[in-house]
Structure 1
Amino acid sequence: MSDKLTLKRELSLTHVVTMGLSWMSPMIFFTSFGVLHEGSGGMLLAAYVLAFIAILFTALSYGQMARAFPVSGSAYTYTTKSMNPFIGFLVGWAILLDYLFSCIIAVLMFGINLHAQFTSVPASVWIVLCTLVVMIINIIGIKTSANVSKIFVLMQILFIAGFCALLVYRAFQGGITAGWNPLAVQEGVSFSTILAGASLVCFSFLGFDSITTMTEETKQPKKTIPRAILIIVLMAGLMYFVTAFLIQQMYPSFTSGNVDSAGFELMQVIGGPLLASIFTFVIIFSVLAQGMSSMTTVTRLMFVMGRTSLLPRMFASIHPKYRTPTFNIILMSIISLSAMFISLETAIKFVNFGALTAFLFVNLSVISHYIIREKQRSPKDLFVRLVCPLIGAGFVFYLIMLLDLSSLLLGAGWLIAGLIYYVIKKVKPATVNMAKVDEAV
């Protein structure tokens, strides 16, 4: 493998949208249903609306930075080039936490849901199987992964549409038990609980940002990446709103025996064994798609951090035949096996801290780059590149403050570990090799 090779630029808008939706996995609504439903006090729709507002402004900021710096690296690259390398490293380290645990969550959910369906087979067996499949497909190439993911994403959208159609059919048969007021607050649920739920629900929107790590493999990235980000967020928001609304109105008092498998239990309540079996079938492929896209994202971030010497140079190596960062893929596959020892709730807390930290600094990067450095201060620029990012940063910062103490402690511990690594590496801001990133522009 050589670090002189480059990644293949072969992804279209459809490919990129597919990879983003695969990473996000629309079925995440159901696979994390128990944790999110409990965390929002049953008020999922309100939590999703609040999270969507925060995410939409942040998505616009990602689009702005993708136009300015059409290279891989996501929040790490944007913060490094618009602020300084040290802040960039910290943000990159935080988003690495998000991407690392997203891979773990994918294989963990695969194991949880298949074990719920086939109780005689341990979850660890399914985790190992999923990890091997995801690793092989990622090594072969990103376009192969994108084409396979396209089929799996379509399956998820069709399932969600069919599920919602079933609930609407039952609603017209008199199944509504909570009325039609989407903003009605359940008794005993405070607004602060809903806000805390929104900080968890942000997890369901994560993925739109992942496509920025694929910029160097995308055709016309300055145009394609911002468009894809907006499409992904709007599509996800529509699916989540409709599904959350219907479940909330028809099953307001739903409870589960196990928060990790609550989605499977919900299917059994609504459609019995048949719907639960169909659900499991779709989950198998949705999690595979999420795993493939998550693996692509984290290994490309490792690639960029290796290329800029923040990680050892071996992370910047590319396989001469497949033109993929094979070393990163194999290493991440080994790390993913830790899903056998981690709970879903803990993994989600890690992801949320890393993602929200990156979101905060991408919003601030827009202001730093366009308003402060480039001095673009027309009325339009002040609104799009100052007011909107400030609103996005404000929402995200508030959501960070709503994370529970364990999430903040876990995240703080990760950042401290990063600082120790940074000191050991003795990376000097003036010598961080961002020039090699510029060559790809």
Structure 2
Amino acid sequence: LAGIAVDFLFLLIAQISGNAEIAELTRVVPINIAVCLLFMLLATIVSYRDLQTTQRLQYGLVGFQILVLLVFAGAAVVEMMNGNAFDASPVQASWFNPFEVDSFSAFAAGLSLSIFIFWGWDVILTMNEETKDPDRTPGRAATVTVFLIVALYLLIAVALLMFAGNGTGELGLGNEDIQENVFFHLSGPILGPLAFLVSLAVLTSSASSLQATFVGPARTLLAMAHYDALPQRFAKVSPRFFTPGYATIVSAIVASAFYAIMRVLSENVLTDTITALGAMICFYYGLTAFACVWYFRKQWFDSVRNVFLTLLAPLVGGVILAVLFVTTLIDSADPSYGSGSEIGGVGLVFVITVVIIVVGVVLMIAQRVKSPAFFRGETLGREAPASARRRRTS
């Protein structure tokens, strides 16, 4: 997310200044890494502070980007209806038919990427104890967020297909030369002098998503530490801001080091990291689904509702995600997968995915040896600290 923000920051400056060479600064590795780490630092500072700061920032950034996306999509449709589209393409039912995809590997890759697009919607669930109404607000917010993402994604996808088509022409969505940054290449033909607003919207979107993303992992680490699944220091809460300060800082350091190292290894780190994260999200969402089935096994048949919510829905979801993960993992071993980057003849996407899993397994085994109580199921009924309960009720 920080890397995307860097790209669009230089694109935005280039558009406003009229100097196209500025956009190329993002390809200068030292500059790219330095600016990326600056974004990471700012996001860390905001996330370390109280959630009211995060809330106000998110309202402004998310509101602005949604407005620009609506204008962008609306303008694309209007241009198509007025006969000014590059390749006018009326809406077709085949666009929404998964059976039109050529192969299951392509279908799995698309779903894996789409899961990355949805990644982050569950952040409200990881901070449920800090909401005003923890019994209802998180569930409602997560549901609204999912539907909002679906609506925006479909609107933008359909509008750009209507305007540019999926051919391989200059602005066609099948043209590999523009696929790295479709928004940038189509913003000018669609919005004219207001094209910079799209770059600004993507920049603010990346920045707001980056900042919100820090909230989720830090609280996940805090919860894991509280139940002895991680060392206790990850459960430390800032006495001033009442946020998981230690976990936030550790998350920032690990993410910053990961980006810097990967950016040096591969110029196409963004493409490969996004693809790898899609597979990783399938992995841990799938594990969560199977864990849900097992955890509620004694309640499956208490009611018809429970049959669907604690057995069938998570089981089917887990199986689908597991299939997507295995398919992506097998396909990504090919060096041509993703950006085409490789390490020792193995695709970079595969390497990233496997390394992350192996590191996680090693850390889990080490924690199990050091503190086995969690792995025996002895800590899951543990009450939240009194300070956390006070913050929740306040």
Q: TM-score, normalised by structure 1?
A: 0.68
Question: 1:315 Cα deviation (Å)?
Answer: 1.4
Question: 1:163 Cα deviation (Å)?
Answer: 0.7
**Code of the aligned partner of 1:391:** V
Q: Contact 2:73–2:159 at 8 Å: present in 1 too?
A: yes
- C-alpha change, 1:275 and 1:337, in structure 2 (3 Å) is farther
- C-alpha change, 1:309 and 1:277, in structure 2 (3 Å) is same
The structure having more radius of gyration, on CA atoms, is 2
Question: 1:234 Cα deviation (Å)?
Answer: 0.7
- C-alpha change, 1:375 and 1:271, in structure 2 (3 Å) is closer
Question: 1:149 Cα deviation (Å)?
Answer: 0.3
Q: 1:433 aligned to 2:379?
A: yes
Counterpart secondary structure, 2:379: coil
Question: 1:374 Cα deviation (Å)?
Answer: 2.6
RMSD of aligned Cα (Å)? 2.7
Relative contact order (C-alpha < 8 Å, sep 6+): which is higher? 1
- C-alpha change, 1:369 and 1:220, in structure 2 (3 Å) is farther
CA distance in 1, matches of 2:383, 2:209: 27
Q: Contact 2:289–2:318 at 8 Å: present in 1 too?
A: yes
- C-alpha change, 1:387 and 1:307, in structure 2 (3 Å) is closer
Q: Contact 1:111–1:125 at 8 Å: present in 2 too?
A: no
- C-alpha change, 1:123 and 1:114, in structure 2 (3 Å) is farther
Q: Which residue of 2 aligns with 1:179?
A: 90
- C-alpha change, 1:379 and 1:315, in structure 2 (3 Å) is closer
Q: Which residue of 2 aligns with 1:324?
A: 243
Question: 1:191 Cα deviation (Å)?
Answer: 4.4
**Code of the aligned partner of 2:305:** K
**Code of the aligned partner of 1:415:** I
- C-alpha change, 1:319 and 1:347, in structure 2 (3 Å) is same
Q: Which residue of 2 aligns with 1:419?
A: 361
Match of 2:143 among 205, 230, 241: 230
Q: 1:211 aligned to 2:106?
A: no
CA distance in 1, matches of 2:63, 2:205: 10
Q: Contact 2:8–2:200 at 8 Å: present in 1 too?
A: no
Q: Contact 1:299–1:329 at 8 Å: present in 2 too?
A: yes
Question: 1:199 Cα deviation (Å)?
Answer: 1.9
Match of 1:169 among 67, 78, 92: 78
**Code of the aligned partner of 1:303:** L
Could you report, residue by residue, the CA deviation over 1:340-359 in whole angstroms, capped at 9, with x for unpaired residues?
44311222133222221222
Question: 1:189 Cα deviation (Å)?
Answer: 5.9
Question: 1:387 Cα deviation (Å)?
Answer: 2.5
Q: Which residue of 1 aligns with 2:63?
A: 154
Question: 1:269 Cα deviation (Å)?
Answer: 4.1
Question: 1:109 Cα deviation (Å)?
Answer: 0.8
Q: Contact 1:205–1:233 at 8 Å: present in 2 too?
A: yes
Q: Which residue of 2 aligns with 1:53?
A: none
CA distance in 2, matches of 1:332, 1:111: 20
Question: 1:301 Cα deviation (Å)?
Answer: 1.3
Q: Which residue of 2 aligns with 1:402?
A: 327
Counterpart secondary structure, 2:82: helix
**Code of the aligned partner of 2:315:** L
Moved over 6 A (4+): none
Unaligned residue ranges in structure 1 (runs of 5+) = 1-105
Q: Which residue of 1 aligns with 2:163?
A: 250
Percent identity over the alignment is 20
Counting matched residue pairs gives 333
Match of 2:279 among 353, 377, 388: 353
Counterpart secondary structure, 1:222: coil
Match of 2:191 among 263, 271, 274: 271
Question: 1:325 Cα deviation (Å)?
Answer: 1.9
Q: Which residue of 1 aligns with 2:111?
A: 198
Question: 1:322 Cα deviation (Å)?
Answer: 1.2
CA distance in 2, matches of 1:391, 1:181: 29
- C-alpha change, 1:283 and 1:125, in structure 2 (3 Å) is farther
Match of 2:152 among 214, 239, 244: 239
* Aligned counterparts, 1:287-302, within 5 A: 287-302=206-221
Match of 1:303 among 222, 241, 251: 222
Q: Contact 2:276–2:353 at 8 Å: present in 1 too?
A: yes
Could you report, residue by residue, the CA deviation over 1:286-332 in whole angstroms, capped at 9, with x for unpaired residues?
22211111111111112122223332222111111111222222233
Q: Contact 1:215–1:225 at 8 Å: present in 2 too?
A: yes
